């Protein structure tokens, strides 16, 4: 506001100076004219010097006084203009402050309105969700109650009433139904026995979760058979059914809980080892056959090893004593009467006591090799069975997976029961292969170790007897060896 006032003051001053210049020019013109006239009069008509010349100083004083008055007037106008401008400025500032306060107030009102709009939208969404939930509740209630022959569509209040009245109708019908279903009801009806024969009798219904059937042909707990039909459960519960029929309570309550009577319940058959093997297919039976064959070989090998190792430590001491005392014939006779591989090897050794050491050692080696045939019998076969069984299980696994993927390709994965056969072959064959391989391998290894220990015992006892014979005093072989050493 100050700049316009300063500019306006400058304009006024310039205007005042211009006006003063014009006034001086006008006022000095008569003086000049008078001077000209005076000169003319002096020239043409010589007047007397009585006319006085105008004093220029007086004229300038008048002009100065005039300018002073103009300046005072302009100063007053400028002061008035300043005061007026300041008043206008204050009014404008007050108006601006008022507008700002109004703007702030309107902004607050706008925020309040936006908040109310958001709350209204949320309330609208909540009402829509509530309406959807109520509609779903009504539909579920109608479908659930219709299963028990309760039609809400025939209720006038439910069709035309408010939501509160509809909820009251639903809860009223549901509470009555729950009270009815929670009680024990006895009615006449038909049900199937375990052999599939249909019979008539009394059906004792415990709410809507369990039932019992009582008839002259059979009684017991009932399970859904499909199509609202019931059949007797495989677990005996005749005493419980008869107790309920008489109005009594059984000490042990045997019952089958079901969700719906419209869906048939298939009782799971009890698994046996035959059913498990049969689920493995042909490969499963092959593995079982190999297992049985391997077990028979293990029994036969055990019998052979037991038969060839029944020579006791007492028998060995007896033969050693007889040989030491020089009773070779009695020792040979004892070996012939003895049983086991050691007795036969010692018998062959004693029959060649007159031979040299090399020949006797050859005889002992030959006898041990002859006995080893019986000791090693079926050993390789048992270990082969132990090695082949898990491979057959792996073959069954691959076969079962191929069968499973063929079924998936043809029928998809919608029904898991279609995949059970291939998966059973894959898993059961692996299980059977391991069941056969582990014990067969363990027993085969133990029997092989037993056989090696018998061979070591034969060789040890035979060398012991040989050394006793060769080192005995008076022995021909002993003298022969001494002469050879002397030579």
3-state secondary structure of 225: strand
pLDDT digit of tens for each residue in the chain (487 aa)? 444 455 555 555 555 554 444 443 434 334 333 333 334 333 343 444 443 445 788 888 888 888 998 989 999 889 888 888 888 888 899 999 999 999 999 998 999 999 999 999 998 888 888 888 888 887 787 777 777 777 776 666 677 777 777 778 787 777 877 777 667 777 788 888 877 788 888 887 777 777 888 888 888 888 887 777 788 877 777 777 777 777 777 777 777 777 776 777 766 666 777 877 887 888 889 999 999 999 999 999 888 888 777 665 666 676 777 777 777 777 777 776 767 677 777 777 777 666 667 777 777 777 777 777 778 888 889 999 999 999 998 988 888 888 888 877 877 776 666 666 677 778 888 889 999 999 999 999 999 888 888 888 777 777 777 777 766 655 444 434 443 333 3
* Dist CA 389 CA 165 (whole Å): 74
Give the residue carrying structure tokens 């045997």. 254
Please give the DSSP secondary-structure letter assigned to residue 304.
Answer: H
* Dist CA 255 CA 299 (whole Å): 49
* Dist CA 235 CA 223 (whole Å): 11
Helical (H) or strand (E) element with 34: helix 2-43
* Dist CA 154 CA 426 (whole Å): 58
Mutual orientation of helices 417-470 and 379-411 as an angle, nearest 10°? 170
Judged by phi (left if over 0) then psi (alpha if -120 to 50, else beta), residue 227 lies in left
Q: SS3 sequence, 392-457?
A: HHHHHHHHHHHHHHHHHHHHCCCCCHHHHHHHHHHHHHHHHHHHHHHHHHHHHHHHHHHHHHHHHH
Residues in a beta bridge with 210: 206
* Dist CA 315 CA 253 (whole Å): 69
Q: What pLDDT, on the 0 to 100 scale, is given for residue 440? A: 93
Q: What is the distance, to the nearest Å, from the Cα of residue 464 to the centroid of all Cα atoms in its chain?
A: 71
- Considering the entire predicted model, what is its pTM? 0.46
DSSP 134-164: HHHHHHHHHHHHHTTT--GGG-HHHHHS-HH
Give the residue carrying structure tokens 């090897």. 345
Q: Residue 230 to residues 192, 213, 215, 278, 285: CA-CA distances in angstroms?
A: 6, 9, 13, 31, 39
* Dist CA 375 CA 459 (whole Å): 14
> What are the structure tokens assigned to 153, written together?
């569509």
Q: What pLDDT, on the 0 to 100 scale, is given for residue 113? A: 92
Q: What pLDDT, on the 0 to 100 scale, is given for residue 129? A: 85
CB burial readout 334-346, b (16+ within 10 A) else e: bbeebebbbbbbb
Q: Residue 245 to residues 179, 184, 191, 319, 320: CA-CA distances in angstroms?
A: 21, 11, 16, 85, 87
Q: What pLDDT, on the 0 to 100 scale, is given for residue 487? A: 34
Give the residue carrying structure tokens 């696994």. 397
Q: Residue 146 to residues 21, 25, 135, 143, 165: CA-CA distances in angstroms?
A: 117, 122, 16, 5, 19
Q: SS3 sequence, 310-376?
A: CCCHHHHHHHHHHHHCCCHHHHHHHHHHCCCHHHHHHHHHHCCCCCCHHHHHHHHHHHHHHHHHHHC
> What are the structure tokens assigned to 66, written together?
């005039």
């Amino acid at each position: 506001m100050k700049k316009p006032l300063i500019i306006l003051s400058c304009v006024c001053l310039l205007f005042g100076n211009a006006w003063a210049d014009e006034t001086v020019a006008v006022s000095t013109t008569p003086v000049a004219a008078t001077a000209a006239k005076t000169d003319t009069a002096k020239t043409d008509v010589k007047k007397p010097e009585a006319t006085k010349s105008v004093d220029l100083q007086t004229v300038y004083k008048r002009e100065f006084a005039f300018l002073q008055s103009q300046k005072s007037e302009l100063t007053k106008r400028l002061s008035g203009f300043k005061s007026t401008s300041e008043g206008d400025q204050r009014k404008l500032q007050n108006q601006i402050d008022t507008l700002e306060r109004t703007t702030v107030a309107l902004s607050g009102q706008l925020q309040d309105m936006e908040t109310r709009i958001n709350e209204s939208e949320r309330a609208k969404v909540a009402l829509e969700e509530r309406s959807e939930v109520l509609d779903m509740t009504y539909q579920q209630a109608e479908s659930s109650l219709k299963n028990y022959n309760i039609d809400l569509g025939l209720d006038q209040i439910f069709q035309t009433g408010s939501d509160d009245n509809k909820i009251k109708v639903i809860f009223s019908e549901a509470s009555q139904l729950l009270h009815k279903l929670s009680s024990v009801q006895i009615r006449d009806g038909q049900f199937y026995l375990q052999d599939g024969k249909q019979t008539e009798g009394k059906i004792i219904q415990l709410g809507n979760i369990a039932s019992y059937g009582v008839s002259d042909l059979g009684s017991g707990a009932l399970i859904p058979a499909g199509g609202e039909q019931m059949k007797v459960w495989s677990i005996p519960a005749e005493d419980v059914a008869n107790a309920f029929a008489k109005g009594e309570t059984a000490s042990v309550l045997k019952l089958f809980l079901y969700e719906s009577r419209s869906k048939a319940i298939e009782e799971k058959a009890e698994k046996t080892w035959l059913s498990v093997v049969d689920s493995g297919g042909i490969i499963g039976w092959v593995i079982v056959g190999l297992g049985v064959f391997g077990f028979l070989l293990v029994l036969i090998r055990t019998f052979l090893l037991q038969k060839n190792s029944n020579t006791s430590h007492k028998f060995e001491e007896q033969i050693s004593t007889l040989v030491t005392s020089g009773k070779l014939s009695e020792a040979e006779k004892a070996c012939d009467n003895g049983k086991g591989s050691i007795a036969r090897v010692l018998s062959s050794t004693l029959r060649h006591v007159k031979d040299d050491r090399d020949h006797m050692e050859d005889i002992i080696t030959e006898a041990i090799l002859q006995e080893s045939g019986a000791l090693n019998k079926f050993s390789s076969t048992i270990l082969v069975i132990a090695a082949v069984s898990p491979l057959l299980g792996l073959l069954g696994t691959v076969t079962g997976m191929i069968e499973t993927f063929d079924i998936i390709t043809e029928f998809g994965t919608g029904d898991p029961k279609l995949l059970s056969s291939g998966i059973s072959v894959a898993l059961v064959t692996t299980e059977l292969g391991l069941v056969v391989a582990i014990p067969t391998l363990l027993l085969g290894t133990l029997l092989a170790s037993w056989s090696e220990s018998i061979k070591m015992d034969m060789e040890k006892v035979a060398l012991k007897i040989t050394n006793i014979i060769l080192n005995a005093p008076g022995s021909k072989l002993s003298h022969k060896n001494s002469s050879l050493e002397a030579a």
